[in-house]
Amino acid sequence: MESLDFLVNVISLANLGAMFLGIIVGLIVGAIPGLGPPMAIALMIPISFEWPPETALILMVATYAAGIYGGSFTAILLRAPGTSASAASSIEGYEMTKRGRAIEAIRMSTFASVMGGIISGFVLLWLAPPLATVSLLFGPSEYFVVALLGLTAIAAVSFGAVLRGLIAGLFGLFVSTIGIDAATAFPRFTYGMTGLMSGVGILPAVIGLFAFAQALTLCEGSPKSNISGVSKLSWNIWPRVSEIIHCRWSLFRGWITGLIMGIVPAAGGSVAQWIAYSWEIQRGKPGDKFGEGEVKGLAATEGSNNGVTGTSLIPMFVLGIPGGISAAVILGALMIHGLQPGDRLFRDSPEVIYTVIWGFILANFMMGGIAAALARTMAYVTLFPRGLLAPIIMIFCVVGTFTASGNPWDVWIMVAFGVIGYLAQKYNFSPAGILLGIILGPIAEGGLRNVLILSDDSPLSFIFARWISVAIIIMIAIAIYYSLKPKKWETKADTKTLEE
Amino acid sequence: MSKLAAERLVAVCLIIVAAILYTQSTGLPQRAGSFPQFAEISVALLAALIFARTFLESNKKKLEGNVYFEFTYKAWKPVAVMVTSIVYCFAIFKLGFYVSSVVFFFIAAYLTGLRNHKYIFLTAIILFPLVYLFFSIALDAYLPEGILF
C-alpha cells in the first residue's frame, strides 16, 4: 500500500505539535456558540503560513475535526450547541445531563466522534478518487430529494406532536426564503430592513433557537440549583465496553450516515445528524426513551457529525470542489501553500496529501485522549447555579454571533430566534423542526428551481430519470413509512407527551 | 380559558398569519414566490387540521381543563431577563461591549433571583478578563465599542 509509506512522516515533533495545537484550538473555538470550525481553521492560516505544507494542513484538518467535536461539549452540557452540526446532540445529550449523566454522555460522544472521524479518515485515505466521482453525480435533482429526505426527520424529532413539528419545519422553510432571492434578485419579506437582505443565517438561528432559548429556560428554575441535579461528577471518563455494545447498531448507523452525507456537497454534518437521529428513532426498541436522554440517539448523532469530517474533504481534495465552508477554508490554505487540488495532488504530491490524511486519522486518536482528559473539567459547568449560567450563556451568544459575522443584525436575529425557540419549546412546536427547515430550505428551493428550469417545468420525469434521485426517493418512502408506523418504544410516550 | 379554546385560538392565529404572509407573497415574481407560498399554504392546512381535530371526542378529552396564567414574579422571570437582554443588545452598540456586558451580567443574575453576591462577583472577576483575553487578544476580534468600552 503506497499510502502506508507516508504514515511515518506524520510522526515528527512538528506534525504532532501542529496536531495538538489544532485540537486545542478546535475544541475551544468549536465549543463557543457562534465561532465554530471555519473560524478556527481561518485563524490557523496566518500562523502556519511559513510552515511546510503537510504540517500546515495537518493543523487545519486537526482543527476541523476537533471543532466539530468541540461543539458537542456545550450542546450536551448546556443545550447550547457550538456548531449547527451539534444541534441534534443537544436533544438527547442535554436530557442525559439533566438526569445527572453528563459524563456518560460525554464519553459516548467522545467514542462516537473519535471512531467516526477515524473511519471517515480511512475512507478518505482509500476511497477518495472513486467517491469523488460519486459526488459529481449529485445534481439539482439530488439536492432537492436529499433536502426532502432531511425534512422527513421533522416527524421523528417532534416526539408525538407531529402536526406541530411539521408546522415548525414549514415555518423554518418560510424563514429560509427571507432575503434577496438568488434567482430573481427580488427582496422577499425584508420589509425594507437592510439587515434582512442577506437572509437569516443558520448560525444566528441555531444559537438563538438552542443556546439563547436555553438561557431563558434556565431562568425559570431555582437560581441556586444546578442543571444536572447532582453535586459530584463521575470519574469514569473512558467509554465502557458494555455501553459500546449497547449502542453498536446506533453507532454503525450514525457513522454510515455521516460517511454518505459527507460526500454530498452542501449537506454535511448539519443534515447528517438529523437523518441519523430520525433513523435511530425509527429503529428504536421497547424501553428506549428518545427525547428523555436516550444514549443511542446521542451515539447516532455524534457518530454522524464526525463521520462527515473525512468524507467531506473528498470532493475538495480530488475535485477542488469544497462541500462546505470548512472545506472551502482548507482549500484556501491548500492553495496558499502552492498545492492544486485534483488528481494531480495525489499524483504529484503524494507525500503531502497522504501525510495530511494520516495526520487527520491520528488527530482523531489524539483528540479522543485530550477530550477524555478535558471531559470532567468541562462538565463542572453543569454544577454552576442556573442564575449564573443564564447570563453567561447570553453573553457568549451575543459575543459569538457578533464575532462570527461582525453584523449587528445577526445579533438581533439571534435574539429574535431565542424568543421564538423559547416559546416553541414551551408550546411543543419543535425548535429542531424550525432549524431543519432553515437548513434545508435553501437546498430544497435551489434544487427545485434548477430542476424546473432544466426539465422545462416537468420536474417528475426529470427526477425519475436519475437513478440516485430514485434511490433517495425510495429512502424517503421508507422514512415516511417508519414515521407513520407506531414505534415500539413510543407506547409510553404516546400517553405522556401528546399535547395535540 | 379552556385548553380546548386555547388550541383553537392557536390554530386560528396560525391560519391568519399564514394568510397574511400568503397575500404578501403573491406580489413576488412567480419563481420567487412559489416556495414561500408552498410553506404558507401548508402551514394553513396543518393549522386547519389542528382546529378540526379539536372537535373529535378523543382530542376533547385530552384537552380538558383550563390554561392557567401565573402572574407571580417567578413565572415572569424569563420575560424580565428577555427584556433586559434586548436592552443589553442595544447597549453594546451604544456604550460598548464590555461595559454593557458587566452591567447586564449583574442585573440578569439578580433578576434570576440569585443573591449570593460573593459568587456573582467572583464569577465576574474571572469571566470578563477571560472573555477579553480570548476574544480581544487571542482572536483579535472586533467587538462593539460604543462611547465607553
Which residues of chain A lie closer than 8 angstroms to B86, CB-CB? 415
Tell me the Cα Rg of chain A.
22
Rounded to 5 degrees, φ, ψ at B63 are -105, 25
Partner A contacted by B14 (CB < 8 A): yes
The answer to whether B112 contacts A394, with C-beta atoms less than 8 Å apart, is no
Count of structural domains, chain A: 1
Read off the pTM: 0.85
The answer to whether A449 contacts B120, with C-beta atoms less than 8 Å apart, is no
Q: What share of chain B is helix, strand, coil (3-state, %, to 5)?
A: 75, 0, 25
The answer to whether A216 contacts B127, with C-beta atoms less than 8 Å apart, is no
Which residues of chain A lie closer than 8 angstroms to B105, CB-CB? 391-392, 395
In this predicted structure, what is the pLDDT of residue A187? 92
Q: Looking at the partner chain, which of B40, B49, B142 has a beta carbon nearest the beta carbon of A163?
A: B49
Which residues of chain B lie closer than 8 angstroms to A225, CB-CB? none
Which residues of chain A lie closer than 8 angstroms to B144, CB-CB? 402, 408
Which residues of chain A lie closer than 8 angstroms to B21, CB-CB? 174, 189
Which residues of chain B lie closer than 8 angstroms to A223, CB-CB? 109, 112-114
The Cα–Cα gap between A65 and A27 comes to 9
In this predicted structure, what is the pLDDT of residue A439? 86
ipTM of the assembly? Answer: 0.92
**Chain B 24-53, residues with CB within 8 Å of chain A CB atoms:** 24-25, 28-29, 31-33, 35-36, 38-40, 42-43, 46-47, 49-50, 53
The answer to whether A412 contacts B89, with C-beta atoms less than 8 Å apart, is yes
- What average pLDDT does range B116-142 have in this prediction? 91
Interface with B, mutate which of A47, A162, A170 (most B CBs under 10 A) = A170
What is the residue range of A407's domain?
3-497
The answer to whether B82 contacts A216, with C-beta atoms less than 8 Å apart, is yes
Reported as a single tens digit per residue, the pLDDT across A271-300 is: 889 889 988 888 888 888 888 889 999 999
Partner A contacted by B104 (CB < 8 A): yes
In this predicted structure, what is the pLDDT of residue A493? 47
Which residues of chain A lie closer than 8 angstroms to B38, CB-CB? 173
- Measure in Å the smallest separation between the Cα of B34 and chain A Cα atoms: 9
- What average pLDDT does range B116-133 have in this prediction? 93
Cell (9 digits) for A386: 442556573
Which residues of chain B lie closer than 8 angstroms to A399, CB-CB? 97, 101, 131, 135, 143
Give a three-class secondary structure readout of chain A.
Answer: CCHHHHHHHHCCHHHHHHHHHHHHHHHHHHHCCCCCHHHHHHHHHHHCCCCCHHHHHHHHHHHHHHHHHHHHHHHHHHCCCCCHHHCCHHHHHHHHHHCCCHHHHHHHHHHHHHHHHHHHHHHHHHHHHHHHHHHHCCCHHHHHHHHHHHHHHHHHHCCCCHHHHHHHHHHHHHHHCCEECCCCCCEECCCCCHHHCCCCCHHHHHHHHHHHHHHHHHCCCCCCCCCCCCCCCCCCCCCCHHHHHHCHHHHHHHHHHHHHHHHCCCCHHHHHHHHHHHHHHHCCCCCCCCCCCCHHHHHHHHHHHHHHHHHCCHHHHHHCCCCCHHHHHHHHHHHHCCCCCCHHHHHHCHHHHHHHHHHHHHHHHHHHHHHHHHHHHHHHHHHCCHHHHHHHHHHHHHHHHHHHHCCHHHHHHHHHHHHHHHHHHHCCCCHHHHHHHHHHHHHHHHHHHHHHHHCCCCHHHHHHCCHHHHHHHHHHHHHHHHHHCCCHHHHHHHHHHCCC
Q: What is the pLDDT along chain A (500 residues), one digit of tens a residue?
A: 567 778 888 889 999 999 999 999 998 888 887 777 888 888 888 888 788 999 999 999 999 999 988 888 889 998 888 888 888 899 999 999 988 888 899 999 999 999 999 999 999 888 887 777 777 778 888 888 888 888 877 777 776 678 888 899 999 999 999 999 988 888 999 998 988 999 998 889 989 998 999 999 999 888 888 887 777 777 777 888 999 999 999 999 999 999 988 887 666 777 889 889 988 888 888 888 888 889 999 999 999 989 998 888 888 888 777 767 788 888 888 888 888 887 778 888 888 888 999 999 999 999 999 988 888 888 888 888 989 999 999 999 999 899 888 889 999 999 999 999 999 988 888 888 898 899 888 888 888 888 888 888 888 888 888 888 999 899 888 877 777 666 666 655 444 444 44
In this predicted structure, what is the pLDDT of residue A267? 67
In this predicted structure, what is the pLDDT of residue A489? 64
Give the chain A residue nearest B85 (alpha carbons). Answer: A394
The answer to whether B31 contacts A391, with C-beta atoms less than 8 Å apart, is no
In this predicted structure, what is the pLDDT of residue A266? 63
The answer to whether B28 contacts A427, with C-beta atoms less than 8 Å apart, is no
**Chain B 50-69, residues with CB within 8 Å of chain A CB atoms:** 50, 53, 59, 62
Which residues of chain B lie closer than 8 angstroms to A448, CB-CB? 35
The answer to whether A408 contacts B93, with C-beta atoms less than 8 Å apart, is yes
Residue B2: strand, helix, or coil: strand
Partner A contacted by B120 (CB < 8 A): yes
Report how many helices (DSSP H) and strands (DSSP E) chain B contains, helices first: 6, 0
CB environment A457-481: b (16+ within 10 A), e (fewer): eebeebbeebebbeebbebbeebee
The answer to whether A219 contacts B111, with C-beta atoms less than 8 Å apart, is yes
Reported as a single tens digit per residue, the pLDDT across B49-107 is: 989 988 887 777 777 888 777 778 888 899 999 999 999 999 999 999 999 999 999 99
Partner A contacted by B89 (CB < 8 A): yes
The answer to whether A388 contacts B119, with C-beta atoms less than 8 Å apart, is yes
- Measure in Å the smallest separation between the Cα of A217 and chain B Cα atoms: 7
The Cα–Cα gap between A126 and A1 comes to 10
The answer to whether B24 contacts A390, with C-beta atoms less than 8 Å apart, is no
Which residues of chain A lie closer than 8 angstroms to B123, CB-CB? 388, 392
Which residues of chain A lie closer than 8 angstroms to B28, CB-CB? 181, 184, 186, 188
The answer to whether B21 contacts A166, with C-beta atoms less than 8 Å apart, is no
